[in-house]
Chain A
């Protein structure tokens, strides 16, 4: 029996045997998918026009490289949050991880003069520590939420405060600087005009997008988020997938934190929690069509959400909006974009299967 299905499946690889009535509907749902995925395109075009009007410096390669570099850290974190939202969860503590993971790593590698611990570990070891810190935080969240059956909102809210407290406590609110080259490479370096962080972020978006679409675990994520009981009844190990996604989300937030640290060549006590990046993380994901109810969303949407926020931020900077007002305007634009995305994308647009 196994062999027989495999034969059928083998024949189906690459050249799908056209099923009766298969062509039209799949075309139709593809159109829906495409429509949703480009839902933000008109908004982006309008923003680019606005940007060009506001400042002649907007439509330049260096400006866009800057936007890319600034958005990369956020983008990688948004990938993590999107995965968690897709399984029907939520993680507020990604901003805490985003700050604490690079803080701990840097603390172990920079000299005492730069407020380090004095262990002076190799920067490569530091990067491993950073990933491990992310994984451990995600694992604790996942176990508490999935195995401990605690509410994800409260668990990750509590975790956020703990992480932010640790971040301040470790260096007594000082900033760690003098980051060694290999540690800041990801956030600071460029290949030609293109920031390394942008290349890595794009790669992470693409790989995650393909994973979600073409990997059985990726498909299981949609199933678990769409109807956990049905996924369980179909033999999917939903606990393992949920915990795995919490771990992956936190590791991605830690990588985002590493990019940010490299970009500003320091790890400040403010990074993450005190900057309040979690609002932007959620906003980018939701503007991009990732459902807070789980089961829906994709990486093209999430990426356009990130790009949109990046361009808005850039335009506000270029327009010399007063620092006192910038947050109010930023927030209002995000709310408007959410509304717009809801109108264009709708809630019913399903992920193409």
Chain B
């Protein structure tokens, strides 16, 4: 066999990780693409405006007097309605993709995501109950109760799915998704029932179950931002453990991972992130499922890169989908954003399934 000295000379010191030059370039590219998408999307909509005035409005806080000639209505639409909605779309999409990546990594199941596990529906159910009892606008110590209710709903769903989907205390890969679908279907029927009892129109129910960012403002952005940021930072501390979990429980444990505790903490964090996203947007499917697979195909399975890239890509997908949802119908009517993500995501996932079964490692 080779001697150790010859080994060292042939060793490639490939720069890896987030802070290598190539990595930094990649992240800069990501951010640029998202900024560009945000810019383009903010110009689309029923209220027509020029991109020149959007640039001037965006830079108004930094360059005083640059946008004095633009009207108040335009300023309100660009800076409050559209920009807030764009930021919320990025946050919600990032949160869903982040949660999907964690669920897939923790449960070692390529079909796991907030939607298929029933977590999204659980969160929506929790939020619906809170709204039904008139707690939607209630604040406890300055914190809105809605994300907490959604989180409780998500935990309830997670617990139910875990109970139904585990065989002899171990999570079974097939039954857990089956359990997720059962829980999800049941809870989404319950949501419809609750909303009907509350005499809300069918369209509100549909927008809630299929997801919508319609009419959301900076208040909502500020409501979800701390939770999603905290969840993302927490999960980013566990990227190495997520990698090791893919070796299976026994080997991960033998390498020094406290498997039970790490899995529990990560499931909680992912569920929290899902819950707050759902609390403001309703149930948006497919983002958490498709994005992690896509990123894994492009960047490999290492979670150190997968997690941040999934957040960025998820945000991008929901931003584009939401822009389509609010502009595709003539006359200012909107369709649920979940419809768009499903229409984009469904066929794409079929393509992945058919062409790349090996890469997805579905067995």
A binds B: no
